[in-house]
């Protein structure tokens, strides 16, 4: 749900914004690492990831590592573009606010 200015209401929710911020610089990040970095439960993270997946912004892959099945999260190309446009829109909002205060 992106506006013409790049602001994306789907990404804007604090935990979803933080998920995208963690995933942006990486090829993929293990679900447990994202959960621990955000300090949320697995169920809370799953709900936010589901919203991002429904929007086409995040994909998850499953792989066996150390004899356990692991879930890895990554931004899709569309997700990476939407996240970066959203961050740029937030910077524009903050920048415009600074100019008005001076």
DSSP element (H, E) containing 45: helix 42-54
Domain with 29 in it: what CATH number? 1.10.10.10
Q: How many domains does the chain have?
A: 1
Please check whether residue 32 lies inside any domain of the structure: yes
> pTM of this prediction?
0.86
- The pLDDT value given to residue 64: 84
pLDDT in tens, 31-81: 999 999 999 999 999 999 999 999 999 999 998 877 888 999 999 999 999
Classify residue 1: in a domain, yes or no.
no
Q: What is the largest CA-CA distance in the chain?
A: 59
Query: Is there a domain that residue 85 lies in?
Result: yes
Helix-helix angle 77-101:14-23, to 10 degrees = 120
Range of the domain at 81: 9-95
CA distance 99 to 102: 6
The CA distance from 40 to 35, in Å, is 6
Q: What pLDDT shows up at residue 6?
A: 86
């Amino acid at each position: 749900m992106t506006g013409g200015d790049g602001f994306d209401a789907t990404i804007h929710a604090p935990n979803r914004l933080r998920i995208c911020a963690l995933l942006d610089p990486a090829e993929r990040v293990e679900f447990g690492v994202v959960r621990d970095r955000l300090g949320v439960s697995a169920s809370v993270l799953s709900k936010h990831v589901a919203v991002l997946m429904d929007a086409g912004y995040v994909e998850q892959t499953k792989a066996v590592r150390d004899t356990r099945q692991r879930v890895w999260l990554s931004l899709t190309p569309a997700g990476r573009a939407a996240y970066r446009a959203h961050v740029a829109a937030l910077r524009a909002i903050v920048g415009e606010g600074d100019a008005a205060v001076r």
